[in-house]
Amino acid sequence: MGMSLKHQTLTRRFFCKNASLASVALASSSESFSKESAHPPALLLGFDNFSIRALGWKAERLIRYADEQKVDALLFSDLDVYESHDEAYLREVGQEAREKKLLLQAGTGGICPTAAKFNDKHGTAEEHLRLLVRVAKAVGSKVARCYLGSSRDRMDEKGIQHHVDSTVSTLKKVRREALDAGVRIAVENHAGDLHSRELVELIERAGPEFVGATLDTGNATWTLEDPLETFRNLAPYTVSSGIRDSMVWPSENGSRVQWTAMGDGCVDLKTLFAEWAQRCPDAPVQLETISGFSKEFAYLQSKFWPPYAGIQAKDFSRFISLSRKGRALKPFSPPPGVDRKKAQQDYQVDELERSLAFCRKELGLGRKQA
């Protein structure tokens, strides 16, 4: 017996409606699958010229070397790397980097006028920072890396907060120039000066619209931090970096730290870069391999703590956990009969190139084929 016309119409409508919904669902599912299965581009891999400082190379030679190493990014972390600060010359440097498909970032040293090691070679702190912004704009860098000082600035009687105040004041004076140039000033956690939480405070006070962070994973250990936690604190602000591994191990008075080539330490690098790819994928991973010596942090002695009184127990506990994973390393010393300068040059090149190879093979970093 045949269906009624009404029933046929309803069935047809039901079929068309559900077929349409199924098509939308399938398309949505396919799009979702495509998005999930598509691999995002690898993180940019490069290095800081300080990694091979013993060579004394200037900008042009460093760009050629970066091209030979097939890296994606290069940080010039000092202003002496240039033959001059003439505008036309700087533009040529930037053009050479672009021709090699290199992301170039500009940098300098300390810009805190009250810091123990502040150098007035480039004028006042404000003049120094203005010069850096001008150089960054000329070479085509969207970033201007700098720092406050060193661990000595935690130790003086005025305390680190006094130097944070001075740095914030300097940064604010250059705000308009940085914004007009399209350059973000990236303050580094440097040589034990700032805990990552203190750097976040500095950035927020100065103005995150023109100030960001240069993440240094090695320096994190000098403020009793696990570099993974330092990354988590600084990730929202990170636009530049100076990256190396670290070995931390228990010592008689606390712990010792020795910075190492990538893969030679005890930092959880795989987790760090998995999170990096999610939280700040546009920030280049720029290796700053400094190694061959250790430093003790004698936190079992009461006199150690006044400069570190603001460090939170949960942060320190993670540093202790990291220390328990480590083992003692020997310092670098030149082979017998080898010129010390030549040995240092060879050592620095080997540390950097081993680290680049490790990052590519073990961590999947870098977009160019080596």
6 pLDDT more than 60 = no
Contacts of 286 (CB under 8 A, 6+ apart): 46, 47, 48, 73, 74, 75, 105, 240, 241, 242, 243
What is the percentage of the chain residues whose pLDDT exceeds 90? 88
Q: What is the pLDDT of residues 17-65, one digit of tens each?
A: 444 433 433 344 334 334 444 678 999 999 999 999 999 999 999 999 9
Question: Could you write out the DSSP letters of every residue in 327-356?
Answer: ---PPP-PPTTS-HHHHHHHHHHHHHHHHH
DSSP 3-state of 138: helix
**Mean pLDDT score, 273-292:** 98
User: Tens digit of pLDDT for each residue in 313-344?
Assistant: 999 999 999 999 999 999 999 999 999 999 99
Task: Evaluate if residue 300 carries a pLDDT over 50.
Answer: yes
Across 239-247, average pLDDT: 98
Q: Is the pLDDT of residue 166 over 50?
A: yes
2-11, 67-76, 112-121: least confident range: 2-11
d(CA 359, CA 370): 11
- Give the mean pLDDT of 97-121: 98
Provide the pLDDT for residue 216.
98
pLDDT reading at 180 higher than 50: yes
Q: Give the model's pLDDT for residue 38.
A: 63
Q: What is the DSSP string of 64-115?
A: HHHHHTT-SEEEE-SGGGSS---HHHHHHHHHHHHHTT-EEEEEEEE--TTS
What CA–CA distance (Å, rounded) separates 184 from 210? 5
Burial bucket for residue 228 (CB in 10 Å: 0-12, 13-18, 19+): middle
Q: Quote the radius of gyration of the chain (alpha carbons, Å).
A: 25
Higher pLDDT, 95 or 27: 95
Q: What is the predicted pLDDT for the residue at 13? A: 42
**pLDDT at residue 72 is higher than 70:** yes
Domains of the chain, first to last? 41-244+266-289+346-363 (3.20.20.150)
Residue 21: the pLDDT is 39
* Segment among 8-17, 88-97, 180-189, 355-364 with least mean pLDDT: 8-17
Q: Would you say residue 3 has pLDDT above 70?
A: no
**What is the per-residue pLDDT for 59?**
98
Q: What is the Cα–Cα distance from 74 to 286, expressed in whole angstroms?
A: 7
DSSP 216: E
Helix/strand number for the chain, H first, E second? 13, 11
- Taking residues 203-222, report their average pLDDT: 98
Q: In this predicted structure, which of 1-10, 73-82, 281-290 has the lowest mean pLDDT?
A: 1-10
Q: What is the pLDDT of residue 36?
A: 40
Sheet of 103-110: strand order equals 238-242, 211-216, 184-188, 143-147, 103-110, 73-76, 45-48, 285-287
pLDDT of residue 34: 40
pLDDT at 370: 74
Q: How far is CA 82 from CA 71, 78, 115, 196, 227, in A?
A: 20, 9, 25, 30, 31
Predicted pLDDT of residue 139:
98
Specify the pLDDT at position 39. Answer: 76
Find all residues with CB under 8 Å of 21, minimum gap 6, and list them: none
> What average pLDDT does range 100-128 have in this prediction?
98
pLDDT exceeds cutoff 90 at 296: yes
The predicted pLDDT at position 369 comes to 83
